[in-house]
Amino acid sequence: MSLPAIRPAAAGDLPSIVALLADDPLGMSREIAPEGGRVAGAYETAFAAIVADPNQQLIVMEQAGRIVGTLHLTFIPGLSRTGEWRAQIEAVRIATGRRGQGLGERLIGWAIGQARARGCGLVQLTTDASRLSARRFYESLGFVPSHVGMKLSLSPPADGPAGGGPIR
């Protein structure tokens, strides 16, 4: 089998991307799985915003006509570190049946290469605290747990005020 291709996502990839995002216990609790090959309109709106922004890349890994991986790469300018740009990697997923085959390492390596090409001084990512295997994976690639990430949900819970609940 040939190596998977890594390329920018197209609108037609959205159902496969969302299915990957929803393919674990945490994702199932916060994503809306595609139905009948269609995704919720919010995903289409987000996709349009991502592709319109030159500092955003939604990437897929495709093999034999199937999407087997995805990630979202953002390039962030900053004043700290003497005006250094950084890259943020998010929403990394490899299809369940394809994990452990080196695809995640290849996809992250590709993203790091893109960050270097754009002149970034560092690459950062977060992973949910419940994803212990993901943390071990990122550490095996040289990432270090140097900061504590914090989030505040701005979506109102069904039975309370905005910002009142934990984020998942």
Q: How confident is the model at residue 106 (pLDDT cuts 50, 70, 90)?
A: very high
pLDDT, one tens digit per residue, over 59-83 is 999 999 999 999 999 999 999 988 9
Taking CA atoms, 159 is separated from 26, 155, 162, 163, 165, in Å, by 21, 11, 10, 12, 10
What CATH code is assigned to 5-140?
3.40.630.30
Domain assignments of the chain as residue spans, ordered by start: 5-140
Partners of 63 in the β-ladder: 66
Neighbour-count burial of 91, counting CB atoms closer than 10 A to its CB (0-12 exposed, 13-18 middle, 19+ buried) = middle
Token pair 């919010």 is found at: 42
Predicted confidence (pLDDT) at residue 54 exceeds the cutoff of 70:
yes
Q: How confident is the model at residue 125 (pLDDT cuts 50, 70, 90)?
A: very high
What is the pTM assigned to this prediction? 0.87
Please give the pLDDT value at position 109.
97
Q: How confident is the model at residue 53 (pLDDT cuts 50, 70, 90)?
A: very high
Half-sphere exposure at residue 87, Cβ-oriented, CA atoms within 13 angstroms: 24
Taking CA atoms, 135 is separated from 35, 55, 64, 130, 144, in Å, by 31, 26, 29, 9, 9
Average pLDDT of span 26-54:
89
Dihedral-angle region of residue 4 (phi above 0 means left; psi in -120 to 50 means alpha; beta otherwise): beta
Q: How confident is the model at residue 1 (pLDDT cuts 50, 70, 90)?
A: low
Q: Report the DSSP pairing between strands 122-125 and 86-94.
A: parallel
Neighbour-count burial of 24, counting CB atoms closer than 10 A to its CB (0-12 exposed, 13-18 middle, 19+ buried) = middle
Radius of gyration of the chain (CA): 17
pLDDT, one tens digit per residue, over 126-149 is 888 888 999 999 999 999 988 888
